[in-house]
Structure 1
Amino acid sequence: MSKIDIHADDYALSPNTSEDILQCLRAGKLNSISVLTNMSCYDAYAEKYQKGKAEWPCQPLLAVHLNFMEGHCAADPEEVKHLVDGQGYFNITWWDLFHWNYSPKKFMTIKKELKAEIKAQTERFREKFGEDLPLRFDGHQHTQMIPLCYWALLEVIVEQHYRTAYIRITKEPIMPYLRQVSLWKSYRPINWIKNLLLNFYALGMERTIKKNRPSWQSENSPMFLWGVLMSGHMDRDRIGILLPYMKKKAEDKGRCLEILFHPGSLLEEEAGEEFVSEGAKQFYLSDGRWIEKNAVMSMRTEEK
């Protein structure tokens, strides 16, 4: 049987988002979470996590949720001036990084800035959660999948000698979705595009990580990520239908199955200057996050 990892992104996005995820942790429903280190509530909720964890049924794995989309930069603003506005808040999009990835004039400049920010965010994580903890990395809005970003991350890992146990490769099986014809109309068309694009990037990313892994870094376990095509609406009903097929696909390929949820909701009064993108803000405020939290809370032990 392949391992199943019930995962929550966006801890420390906001106080309410964090409280929702803490409820899931107290109920023992999560195997792992990703932590944003550059949002204004990070210090308070890193401390709240540390104070409360001893009482939880199980201890989740923690990942640095690299964030270039919201919040204030962790690096000196002068080191990341193409990524932030005059106040040091990120003001770029996923598509900006996508375009820079293919720009000979911008690639090296942006990679240098990304490296400075990745190191700064990682050091903030280590300050709160310990320097000896093996590091796990993923990216807010899956930016780690863009070659420009994962090369920056890999170079930081090597240069800083970070003991790294995991880097998320967003590789989502498509066949379980295609087999369930009755669900086709329930998926957002834009998410089909995301699935195909990220799966394309996953091919090169897996080869690159395997080829460039230092001898002192643990091997990145092969995995599938389930949560792109249904992003923002990982509801209980469709999970129940698709889970057996996703599990079988992972077992057949000898991969871990990471089931990605966003179970933390942003409150309207929390949506201040840290949140530049109106589109992303609506996602954080949507009912889909409440639906995903209910799905996490309803997961049974045998499903994990």
Structure 2
Amino acid sequence: MTVRFHADDYGITLDQARAILALSDACGGSGCLSSVSVFANSPALAEAAALAAPHIASGSLLMGLHANLVEGRPCAEATCVPLLVNERGTFRNDFVALLAQSRSAQRDELRRQTECELTAQLKRYLAAFPAAQGALRLDSHQHTHAIPLVFDALLSAARTCGCTVEYVRTPAEPLRPHLASGQALRRLSLVNLAKGALLSRLWAKNRGKLPKGCATSLFCGVLLSGRMDEIDAQLVRAFDELAFARARAGKAPADGSVEVLFHPVSVPLEQCLDPQNAPFATACAAPGRDAEARALTALR
């Protein structure tokens, strides 16, 4: 079985990108990190891509697109995606607002604008990582690709860009490993349990749409959101054992792998993608991100 420790939000700044790569033994640092996903709409994309390129080429690091519809500036012209942006030209929605829009009378226009933006993000990502066209790895900020409309737009954007989708995150986290580890009641909040239930329900509508040959993994990272520094070897082992059992029984994910998601390394508030978007910027600058970085080192 394979457990992959992953960092979202790579490349907000060059310093943050460098600090994240330092959490990987395989990239010359000290830690268990083995994959990252990057914001295509980050001003630091080119520099962060150049920093990661040698490790990707050597096979030491997996890189994916962190599709983003909720924070910072769009890659498409703001005038082309008015349902996605505010008067400042930055993204206006969070997950809940996007989900509500996707079920409104504006859903057809939202679908068009979402595909426009995701196509622009993919083109910018592929300019930085050309080899990804033949082996594209996808996830998203706030797991918005669990929303069926967004997922459809993301896959359509990938087809438009001529991509072969190699991997898509499955943001449906099982409760069983948490119960098996004996720490569920202490660790899991009602908010995260509700979030996990919603993501699982939405993702059930997307499972049958995955491209042929596209891999997925058992996923850990929502039910302990904000507290991933508390993860321990016992919980990781419980996920690994469940993945093995599912693979042996012929159930998805077929390869028996596990993705464990972290958001390591805090960024100064003024350097976040949109410092005026208080909920996102506060989360980006939170000291808990540095605690998650220390956890990645402790788990090695």
Instruction: Decide: shared fold, TM above 0.5.
Output: yes
Deviation at 1:144, TM superposition (A): 0.6
SS in 2 for 1:204: coil
Aligned-residue CA RMSD (Å): 2.1
Give the aligned partner of residue 171 of structure 1.
172
Deviation at 1:37, TM superposition (A): 1.0
Deviation at 1:133, TM superposition (A): 4.5
Within 5 Å, give how 1:68-217 maps onto structure 2. Answer: 68-103=69-104, 105-131=105-131, 132-209=133-210, 213=211
Cα distance 1:276–1:219, how it changes in 2: closer, same or farther (>3 A)? farther
Cα distance 1:166–1:182, how it changes in 2: closer, same or farther (>3 A)? closer
Q: Distance in 1 between matches of 2:52 and 2:137?
A: 17
Instruction: Give yes or no for contact 1:62–1:136 (8 Å, CA) kept in 2.
Output: yes
Q: Distance in 2 between matches of 1:136 and 1:182?
A: 32
Give the aligned partner of residue 265 of structure 1.
266
Cα distance 1:64–1:285, how it changes in 2: closer, same or farther (>3 A)? same
Residue among 221, 224, 229 paired with 2:215 = 221
Give the aligned partner of residue 51 of structure 2.
48
SS in 2 for 1:201: helix
Letter in 2 for 1:253: R
Deviation at 1:183, TM superposition (A): 4.0
Q: Distance in 1 between matches of 2:19 and 2:62?
A: 17
Letter in 2 for 1:175: R
Instruction: Give yes or no for contact 2:101–2:107 (8 Å, CA) kept in 1.
Output: yes
Cα distance 1:244–1:81, how it changes in 2: closer, same or farther (>3 A)? same
Instruction: Give yes or no for contact 1:65–1:140 (8 Å, CA) kept in 2.
Output: yes
Instruction: Give yes or no for contact 2:233–2:299 (8 Å, CA) kept in 1.
Output: no
Q: Distance in 2 between matches of 1:54 and 1:157?
A: 21
Instruction: Give yes or no for contact 2:122–2:157 (8 Å, CA) kept in 1.
Output: no
Q: Distance in 2 between matches of 1:298 and 1:86?
A: 44
Question: What are the ranges of 5 or more consecutive residues in structure 2 without an aligned counterpart?
Answer: 248-255
SS in 1 for 2:6: strand
Instruction: Give yes or no for contact 2:5–2:260 (8 Å, CA) kept in 1.
Output: yes
Q: Does 1:233 align with 2:227?
A: yes
Deviation string 1:235-286 (CA, Å, 9 cap, x unpaired) is: 2x53223122111111111132101111121113424x72443222222222
Deviation string 1:131-152 (CA, Å, 9 cap, x unpaired) is: 5551111101100100110011
Instruction: Give yes or no for contact 1:16–1:264 (8 Å, CA) kept in 2.
Output: no
Give the aligned partner of residue 9 of structure 2.
10
Q: Distance in 2 between matches of 1:296 and 1:232?
A: 14
Give the aligned partner of residue 251 of structure 2.
none
Q: Distance in 2 between matches of 1:163 and 1:73?
A: 24
SS in 1 for 2:23: helix
Q: Distance in 2 between matches of 1:252 and 1:136?
A: 25
TM-score by length of 1: 0.87
Deviation string 1:157-203 (CA, Å, 9 cap, x unpaired) is: 23332111111121211112234454413323211111111111222
Instruction: Give yes or no for contact 1:16–1:267 (8 Å, CA) kept in 2.
Output: no
Q: Distance in 2 between matches of 1:186 and 1:137?
A: 28
Q: Distance in 2 between matches of 1:45 and 1:158?
A: 26
Instruction: Give yes or no for contact 1:171–1:223 (8 Å, CA) kept in 2.
Output: no
Q: Distance in 2 between matches of 1:75 and 1:241?
A: 44
Deviation at 1:48, TM superposition (A): 2.8
